């Protein structure tokens, strides 16, 4: 009777796995902590200020800063005293995801919605706590809201913030709200956290969010998340004057926006579209 031969476990491979599982890279962790502090500060900071906020020594902070400057992750202001985020991170972010291709795919959908409701339609993507405007289809009316492509708005701005946060697991959304707070943009802005979380529950059920002058006075909006699987999280929203965006029209806009968002999501995620986005 032949005895089965069982290959011996490759101890070196297992040891490598064990080492990786427990491996810590303090310098990498500290570098990312530095970038988080700088990005969340809302302003440029000097090395001394960074060291104080991080609790690092000045020499450690100095070494991290100069390594990140060499890679273009940080940039220096006039005089070289103040630091801000450099171009490398956005370049990496968009290296395999082309905004122009997204605009090309989305523009017909935005135009279709615009023509159906005669209101301005916007497509944006979430980048941490901001929303970048990628494409628009402006209403023909002389009185309308114009939003420049390439501009950004706060993540928690009106309806668009609601659909992005409603796509998060509730504990994650609650933690973000607790950490960022709910800024008051207008008298109608929801600034009470429990009320806002209930609003997110409503958005999850109905599939769209409504902004009734919560971000801009005299402006109402309806937003729908694309829930695309590839690329940055995207949403489209329709904005118009409160005088024209009456309650009945809000419901009409929501139905059209959800239908077109579903079609656009399919287009962006289908094999050819995804391949183009990943180019």
Measured distance CA(132)–CA(119) in Å, rounded: 20
53-56 — which CB contacts under 8 Å span 24+ positions? 54/30, 56/30
- pLDDT the model gives residue 176: 86
Secondary-structure class of domain 11-91 per CATH: mainly alpha
- pLDDT the model gives residue 116: 94
Tell me where in the chain the CATH 3.30.450.40 domain(s) lie. 96-277
In tens digits, the chain (279 residues) has pLDDT values of: 444 444 444 455 455 545 545 556 788 999 999 998 887 776 788 899 999 999 999 999 999 999 999 888 888 876 667 888 887 776 666 655 566 777 888 899 999 999 999 999 999 998 878 899 999 999 887 566 777 888 899 999 999 999 999 999 898 899 889 888 899 999 999 999 999 999 999 999 999 999 999 999 999 999 999 988 777 889 999 999 999 999 999 999 999 999 999 988 888 776 444 444 444
Homologous superfamily of the 96-277 domain (CATH):
GAF domain (3.30.450.40)
What is the reported pTM?
Answer: 0.67
49-54 — which CB contacts under 8 Å span 24+ positions? 50/83, 54/30
Tell me where in the chain the CATH 1.10.10.10 domain(s) lie. 11-91
Sign of CA dihedral 199, 201, 137, 94: positive
Asked whether the beta carbons of 182 and 194 are under 8 A apart, the reply is: no
- pLDDT the model gives residue 88: 78
Measured distance CA(121)–CA(137) in Å, rounded: 5
- pLDDT the model gives residue 123: 95
- pLDDT the model gives residue 90: 66
């Amino acid at each position: 009777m032949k005895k089965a031969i069982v290959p011996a476990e490759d101890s070196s491979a297992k040891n490598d796995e064990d080492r990786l599982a427990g491996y810590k890279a303090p310098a990498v962790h500290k570098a990312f902590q530095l970038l988080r502090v700088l990005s969340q500060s809302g302003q440029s900071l000097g090395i001394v200020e960074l060291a104080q906020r991080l609790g690092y020594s000045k020499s450690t902070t100095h070494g991290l800063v100069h390594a990140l400057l060499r890679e273009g992750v940080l940039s220096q202001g006039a005089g070289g005293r103040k630091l801000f985020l450099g171009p490398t991170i956005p370049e990496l972010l968009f290296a395999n995801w082309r905004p122009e291709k997204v605009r090309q795919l989305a523009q017909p959908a935005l135009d279709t919605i615009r023509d159906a409701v005669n209101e301005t339609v916007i497509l944006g993507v979430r980048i941490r706590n901001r929303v970048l405007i990628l494409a628009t289809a402006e209403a023909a009316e002389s009185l309308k809201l114009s939003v420049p492509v390439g501009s950004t708005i706060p993540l928690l701005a009106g309806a668009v913030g609601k659909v992005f946060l409603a796509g998060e697991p509730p504990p994650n959304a609650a933690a973000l709200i607790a950490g960022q707070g709910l800024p008051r943009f207008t008298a109608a802005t929801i600034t009470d956290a429990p009320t806002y979380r209930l609003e997110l529950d409503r958005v999850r059920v109905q599939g769209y969010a409504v902004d009734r002058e919560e971000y801009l006075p005299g402006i109402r909006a309806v937003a729908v998340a694309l829930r695309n699987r590839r690329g940055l999280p995207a949403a489209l929203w329709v904005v118009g004057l409160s005088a024209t965006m009456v309650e009945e029209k809000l419901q009409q806009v929501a139905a059209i926006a959800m239908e077109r968002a579903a079609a656009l999501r399919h287009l962006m995620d289908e094999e050819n579209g995804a391949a183009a986005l990943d180019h």
